[in-house]
Each structure stands twice: as C-alpha cells, then as structure tokens.
Structure 1
Amino acid sequence: MQNSPNALVLPTANEGLTPFTIEVPQAAIDDLQQRLRMIRWPDRELVSDWSQGVPLSAAEQLVAHWLHHYDWRKFEARLNSFPQFRTRIDGVGIYFIHARSPHPHAMPILLTHGWPGSVAEFLDVIERLTDPTRFGGSAKDAFHVVVPAIPGYGFSDKPRDLGWNPDRIARAWAVLMTERLGYEHWVAQGGDWGSAITTALASQKPRGLVAAHVNLPMVVPAQLPEQLSQDEREALAGIQYFVDKGTGYADQMNTRPQTIGYALNDSPLALAMWMYEKFWDWTDNDGQPEDALTRDQMLDDISLYWFTGTGTSASRLYWEGVGQTIHSHEFFSPARSGGRKIEIPMGASLFPAETFNPPRKWAEQAWEHIFYWNRVDAGGHFAAFEQPDISAREMWKAFRVFRDQVIDS
C-alpha cells in the first residue's frame, strides 16, 4: 500500500545547501478537512477533568477550530518568510531555517526542538535573537539562528536505517554548523529531545562549539545522598509523578512506535489528541492548554506533523533514544560521555511548569563548568513556544559571557 497521493513529497537533498519553500498541496488540505468532517467520536469520559485524557468537549472544540477557522496557509507563509534550506548529511535530507542577524558580530546559535514540538516552537524567538534591538535588547546580544528539524520530523527526511539516536543527530548537527554553514565558533540550545541532543553535542566536543544551554537539564546523580535537601526531594517527587502518571505515551513509542504510528498517520483526530494532551500536561496553564498557547499555535504544530506524515517516524526517536529505560532514572540522565563529566561549558534555565527541575548540585556532578543557572517565573516544557520573550532574554544573558571570545577569534 502506497502513501496517499495527496501526501507532501520532499525534493531530494544533496550535500549542498538547497533553498526550500513550503507548499502543501491544496489536495492535502482538502483531504484533511474531509477527514475532520467524518470523525467517529468516542463516548464522553466518565470524569469531570482530564484524568482520563482529553475531555470530549475540549477535543470537539479544537477540531471545530481546525476545520472552520484555522488557516494553514497563514502559517505556511510565516515559515516561508524565513530562509529555509535542505542539505544531505549522513544519508538523510535535513531541513533547517537559517536566519542571519543584521547586526555585526552576531553569534551563531543552533536551536533544537523536541517532541511533540517542531521548528514552530522557535518562530517567535528567532526575530528576538536575530534583532534584539527591536525587543528591548542590545545589538551585542544578536545571534545568527539555525533551527533544524530532527530527522523524521517536519521537512527533514525520515531515516531509512536504524541508529538515529541523539548521539547520531548531534554529529549531524556538528556537520551542519561547521561543514555546511562554515561557522568557526557557535553555541547550542535545546529542550526535550533538543536537550538530549544538545547534551550529546557538548559531550562530543565538536569543532567550534563554545558552550551549550538547555531548558530541561536531564541530570540525576548515580547515587543520592542519605540526607536529601528540599530541592532534591522536590525533584525526586517530580520524577516519581512522571513515571507513575505521565509515561503512557512514551511507553508506547519507546516499545511499539510502529503500532501507534498507524493511528497517528491515518487519523488527524488521533494525532491531534496525542499531542494536545501534552500541551495540557506540560505547559504552564490554569487548567486548559489554551491558557498557555493559542489554538492556532497548537494547530500549527499539529498540522505540521499531519501534512509531513511524521507521526510515526517522530515516534521512532523514542525507540532509538530511550528504549526500555523509561521506568528508571536513567531516562533523566541521557549521559553521552561514558560517565565522564561534560567539559564544554553548560548552562540551564529552569521553567516552573517543566516536567523535571533538578537542583544545581545534580548538574555539578555531570557538568564540569556551569556558566549559567537560573530559575524563571513563568513557562513550562515548551519554553520558547510559551514564553518567547523570557526564552530569548535567557539566551541573551546566558551566552553573553562568550561573545568577546567569539568576536576576538
């Protein structure tokens, strides 16, 4: 059985930098709307909250907005307003946004998304980083911004071989920044899988990487002290809650991604609810996902997965990168350095509604040099998506110490 004739077909990538413009076929949009009109709804949940999953009324409202009010072409045009490219690295076509700053001496930065995120997470951050003077910042804080889509996500190719775990993706990112784009010195930032990939990058110490920053520092000491501090108790409680209540999605994807993939690829309702639940569970909200993100923002991300048909291939990253470790603290310690401390300078910004916020002392056991550690007042797992202003300012401040080093070189 072949993919739908309405499916988006990506052009073949080569080892050069090929400009790329997104143009989803109108037939694919029509197909989505037809599928949304033909949904067979389940019966209502037996509780009055989200404890059994997305409530039927919330699902119906999101789908109604998707069908009657959402405009994919508006989001497509916004993506196309940024310079976009595809290049082939390690046999896979990699899509990326490359937005250069108008300010001299801007620092190159690589931003990596996670699941169920995409490059859509960073669109409100890109302009704040490339031209901070428009947002109350200084020209000295400007960045050249590179935002790739993880293999199997968005407009990057779906890997055709095994082994595309955070280590391999990190090696591809190093090729992108140094060989393809020619940057001699650069920094990296990420959250969720982007945190694991950024941490892997730092442990690999690729040429030119000056420092790295994450908004989900997945660090847990190999051995906990007998007397725990309040911060440690809170962090462990967060891990326990996640393991007990929040790993159902990951259990499925890290063991049987192909099985859940059939639903995610065939049903826009299944895909939307699989992701919408995380926008509820992982954002800094007052009970509803819409407290943190607009419906259009969430549907931009959901639609990107739908039109690229990447629900299944994105799920496989869990199988590759987590495997059977989800029910242990190893999930929060994706050490890529053979037990050695990471020597590249590392920083972190902690957002209050993040799924896991460790104390600094845990990071000190894993990172040789912590150059920045800060807790902010608002935001959750999708930091740049939820709080673009806070996220941008954190990057301005965090990497400021390295700018003279990059400029002088």
Structure 2
Amino acid sequence: MTDPIVASGRIDRFRAAFGKSPPLLWSFLYFFCLLCGYYVLRPVREAMAASSDIEVVFPPALIASFASRGVALGEFTLQFIFTAVFVIMLLLQPVYGWLVSRFPRRVFLPVIYGFFIATLLLFYAMFDSGIAGRGLAFILWITVFNLFAVAVFWSFMADIYDNAEARAYYGYIGAAGTIGAFLGPVLTRTLVEQVGIANMMLVSAALFSVCVVCIVRLRRHAMAREAQRGQTSGEKPMGGEVLAGLKLVLKEPLLRWLAVMVVLGVGVGTLLYNEQNRIARTAFATAEERAAFFATLDLAVNSLTLVLQLLVTRMLMSRFGIAPALLVPGAAIILGFSILAASPLPMMVAIVQVFTRASEFSLAKPARETIYTRVGREWRYKAGAAIDTVIYRGGDLTFVWVHKFLSAFGSQVVFGVGLLIACGMTIGALGVLREAKKLPEERGS
C-alpha cells in the first residue's frame, strides 16, 4: 500500500513542476489532446484492419484486380496495408523535409496539423455516406498521422526544454498523453455504438484543433528559450537538404543505433500485433465488437503506462539518466516472449502486448527523446522524423512479411524468433547508450 506521505510528496512535486515551468501546462494540454484524438480513432482502425469482410476495407476494383490474378486479397490484408504505408512514407519524407527546410516553425507546425484536421472532415463524409474502400483509406491515413504528428510533437518539445528539464518533465508530459490515450478509448467505447463511426471523426478533429492553439502558445516559450541559450531560432527556416534526415542516419553512429533499436522494437510489436488481429478476427463478428475489444486493450495499456509515468519514469531518469529506461523494457520483453514461446495462449498474448506497449510509451520513448535535447535542429526535425516515420515503417513492412512466413510454422516459432529480435533490440539500446555518452550535456546551437 502506498504511504500517504510519499504520495503527497509526489503530488507536491507535480504541482511544483508547473510553477517552475510555465510552458509545461501547454505541453501537457498539447500531448493530451493529440493522443486523445488519436486514440478516439485507433480502435476504429484496428476494427477495420481485423475485419473479416474485405469489402469494408478494400475498394471492389482492387479486390477484383487481385482475384483476377488468383490472389485472395483478404489473406494478405495486413501485408498490403503495411506495404502501402511504407510506400506513402517514402513519398512523404521528401515533402516533409522540404517543408521543414524552407519554412519556419510558425508555418510548418500549424500546416501539418491543419492538413490532418481537413482530411478528418473528409473521412467524416466518406464514412457517413458508406463509400467503398473507406477502410483502407482511413487505415493508411491514421497510420501516417500517428507517426508524423507525434514525431513533430517531440521535436518541438526539444526546442523548449533542455536535457535536465527533459529528464524531469518528459515523464509528466508523457503522462498527459497517456491520460488522453486513456480517455480516447473510453469515448469510443461509450459513443461508437450510439453515434456511429463517422461522428468519431468530428470528435477527433476538435481535439486536434486544440493542439494548434497549444502550438501557438508554446511558440513564445520556444523563442524565449532559444534566445536565452543563444541557439539558432526555430522561427527561421533551417535550410539544408530535403533528404538530410536519412543521410544523417546513415552517417552518424548514434542515429544508426537509434534506428536499429526502433526497427527491432517495431519487429517485436508487429509480431504481437498480427497475433492479436488473428484472435480478434475469429472471436468477434462485427466492426463495433472489435472496436470495443481494442478499446479495452488500449485502456489496459494506458492504465499501466500512466502508473509507470507518474511513479517511475521521472525517478529513473532524474536519478539514473536514460540507461534504466532504455534497458528495462528490453528485459521485460525478453521475459514476455520467453513465456509466449513456451505457452502461446491467447490471453498471454494480450498480457504481453499490454506490458510491451506500456514499457515503450512510459520508459523507452521518453528516454530516446531526451537525446534530441542535446543535438541540433536537423537531427531533431529531420533525422528524428526519418527514424520515426520511414525507418519505423520499413521495420513494419519487413516484419509483417516475416510474420506471414513464420506463422505457417505455428505461434511458438513466431515467438521464438521474437525472442531473438527482443535480444537484438536490447543490444541496440546498449549501442545508443555508448554513443550518447559522447554528446555534450546541452546543445550549443
């Protein structure tokens, strides 16, 4: 049982943090609305992806095209989706690189979120009218949105907070996102069967609009911090090459290790995700039932994540740096996959999924993001975004096909290979820690 005095001390530290750092409240609200808006829609995406009715997901012409070649598209739903997402990421990466190179922060941040809000209104019309193929379009859109919007958020935070502040506050900011991620599935679970999927798009669009307000307010704090530290202003275009992000990843050892860690972490998650979808496809008959199941799973993930962020993340990172936050998730995943390789029961798959995602969100992700407070803007906005989008989805694409091959040999083989991947991810974390020691404590420009 938690000591009341200890709990009171934690609450006091939480309140004091808001008093010390005025931008923290806006950062808190920003990430809350961003993840709440996303998690309102995430169960809808999962329900579409796990649908046994491929006509809900794919346009009839696409289904017919595959059928004419003797291929049943329904057997390759996830493989097709992950391949399409990777191709879209490849196409969008130079567009994003051009945007952040040629325009200042006050332009490209609102433009990115404004684009996503406008497309959500389009999806409202598509779902309301029941247009064929809406499932595929929505799945592709929300997958791209999640990676770009969250990557941009953390890049912006590194403009506002220095390394010491990041270790002290990123746990709290992450907790704000987790509270939003917790509330999002609650809204979906409560409303989706009453108002329908289409109206959930409007709920999400309203939350993303609040994010734009937060960006405007936080911009002042970013400008003040940059001037105080004598750093390059984000209010000026950063210039450089459109594909500088990918080139930096190839060139810099730290970024390469970060990419290895992310790709192998994606591999672990993809194996679990595919098993989870297989279970949902056979267990639930309708999209609404599947949406409710995924909402419940998200609630479990976000509940555990919130507990870790409020009670563990700040303590670990403030006292011991990023090493425990990067290594503990790897150890937990290795243990989970060892259990699954021995006994791949459906309930155990769900439990390991909860612990895997919670440790990533509460520990590994904030720890990785603190590194970007110690490097220049091209590393933050270009290389960081490249790792979180193209390279991340490249890992998705690779492992979704690996899973397709391994699944023919049974779940124990899938999770046995997953155990090896989890070990590789932990080695990647050690590489990140070794290279991060070579960085200055604070960036100089």
TM-score where L is the length of structure 1? 0.28
Which structure's residues are more often helix, by fraction? 2
Which of structures 1 and 2 has the larger relative contact order (alpha carbons within 8 angstroms, sep 6+)? 2
TM-score where L is the length of structure 2? 0.26
Which structure's residues are more often strand, by fraction? 1
